[in-house]
Structure 1
């Protein structure tokens, strides 16, 4: 089962005292604590926003969320399992290497701690806890993969799908560029100290929007994430969920809700072909390629992003 913990939203969405909890059943029979925050009025149509690999919910810029809320939506963000202030599956050991190799070579995949389906069930459980029957589901990167799973496994809960900087589980597309792969598979910082972690964040710029890169913003984001909930141990389990869930193109092709696929032409972590394949698979979907956008949400592009999202969700009335 999944246990949800509501937080009182603050300016930085940091650690907060909790208020009453509730439980729902989870597909993998674990007790999972999910930390979430909301923007806007609960009476408005809901947009459930799912963040990516090892990224805490605070990676969604608060002002970005508020723009959507100010347009008349109830915006919900949360920490995925094994990330942020949600449950950490301490002691569950996995070697992601053989799982990645098996997925990339179409070999039988070794057992994994949990799947994208389990993570999608966590997301739907947040809706259950909030008493929301249907929502617009939006995800970025790994969050986009989870959002896709929500759209085909929980169809009656999904009003629209927005998949950003993601791909459909196809090893032939959307793989990191060579420069990004070097960073992903590089040795970790020499220590887990705050200073080393923040210093290493400069490497992440390889997949950020080149036109809008900022050392200051990179360091500030890394510091905020470290201070809130530094937990590198969750990374291999989330990576195992991505690759261990295998090819999903057949399932993605059955998505029937209105779908918007957004991808940056400057994305080096999940290259543009990942978004293009996602759009090709989903009948009637729309593909928006954004020039100069990498694997991030640079503020100068917010008008384009929020405009596209709001136009998309407006076509379906709650």
Structure 2
């Protein structure tokens, strides 16, 4: 792993494969670290002659934290959004897209395949909107156009997303992570329980930034819908969504694919809202033909 200055921030990143091969940039979701993209998934893509880059978004993992921006008032932000007003937030998803563009520039990558999951899918969409010259292709996984009229999360998913660990001890944070995965994880691609517990503990030990998570969450909440911009996307696009996603229902994937001209939609039975190793093995099988067809 290494660090690079991008958009005036220090980002942690890791690469797989040969730098001269076409680049694939993996953009993680809300609160997810680069290690949440399984190494086996990255290696499977790199084995097909791609240069894979996974990185920590700002405010998470080993990338720079923006604690000087303070804690967002989530209740006030939600009230402003519901009133159709623009809330003041520490930063926006467009700033996070600029981070990706800066990462590419720092690594001297002219064009890349953008692959984003959840919040990362929103950032990948913004890359296709604002930096079309930098994309070979776009893949939006378990994400959304931001359309305010889409079905909401299930009550259980909303509740767990707004909850918190019993304490800030590692054991309680790990237990809370297990509870979250019980609610939003993929019923058809379940983690091995012991492996998941070990993975969560590793992530918490690597970096635990609840304040950074809230600032990212504020960026998602304040993001403008991309409904009017997505029809102008020219990058070949693959949309993947789980039919059992309780956090972002699959209607959001259908909506995204409908908005982007020529987009291909893959709805996956048994897929929820996580990146379990078993699910990522299936995702690689969907993703690789798309990447290979658009080298």
TM bucket, shorter chain: over 0.9
Matches within 5 A, 1:49-64: 49-64=26-41
State whether residues 41 and 281 of structure 2, in contact with CA within 8 Å, keep that contact through their aligned partners in structure 1: no
Alpha-carbon distance change, 243 to 223 in structure 1, aligned in 2, over 3 angstroms: same
Q: Which residue of 2 aligns with 1:311?
A: 289
Q: Among 238, 262, 270, which residue is 2:240 paired with?
A: 262
| 1:274 partner SS | helix
Aligned to 1:162: 139
Q: Tell me the residue number matched to 1:191.
A: 167
Distance 2:277 2:168 in 1: 30
Q: Which moved more, 1:280-289 or 1:302-311?
A: 302-311
Q: Deviations for 1:225-281, whole angstroms, at most 9, x for unmatched residues?
A: 111011111122111111112222111221111000000111111111111111111
**Correspondence list, 1:172-251, <5 A:** 172-173=149-150, 175-186=152-163, 188-204=164-180, 205-213=182-190, 214-251=192-229
Report the alpha carbon displacement of residue 92 of structure 1 after superposing the two structures with TM.
Answer: 1.5
* From 5, 12, 16, the counterpart of 1:39: 16
For 1:131-150, list aligned pairs within 5 A. Answer: 131-150=108-127
For 1:297 and 1:253, the matched residues in 2 are separated by 28
Larger RCO of the pair (alpha carbons < 8 Å, separation 6+): 2
Instruction: Describe the superposition over 1:292-317 as per-residue Cα deviations: whole angstroms up to 9, x where unpaired.
Output: 11112333344432122111111223
2:194 aligns to what SS in structure 1?
A: helix
Inter-partner Cα distance in structure 1 for 2:96 and 2:228: 19
**SS state of the match for residue 85, structure 2?**
coil
| CA 1:293–1:310: 2 relative to 1, 3 Å | same
8 Å contact from structure 2 (residues 38, 280) kept in 1: no
Q: In the aligned structure 2, how far is the partner of 1:237 from the partner of 1:56?
A: 15
Give 1:174 deviation, angstroms.
5.4
| Distance across 2 between alignment mates of 1:170 and 1:153 | 19
Structure 1 runs (4+) deviating above 6 angstroms are none
1:86 aligns with 2:70: no
Match of 2:231 in 1: 253
Structure 1: any 5+ residue segments left out of the alignment? Answer: 1-5, 8-17
Counterpart of 1:152 (choices 125, 129, 142) is 129
**Which residue of 269, 286, 291 maps to 1:291?**
269
TM-score, length basis structure 1? 0.88
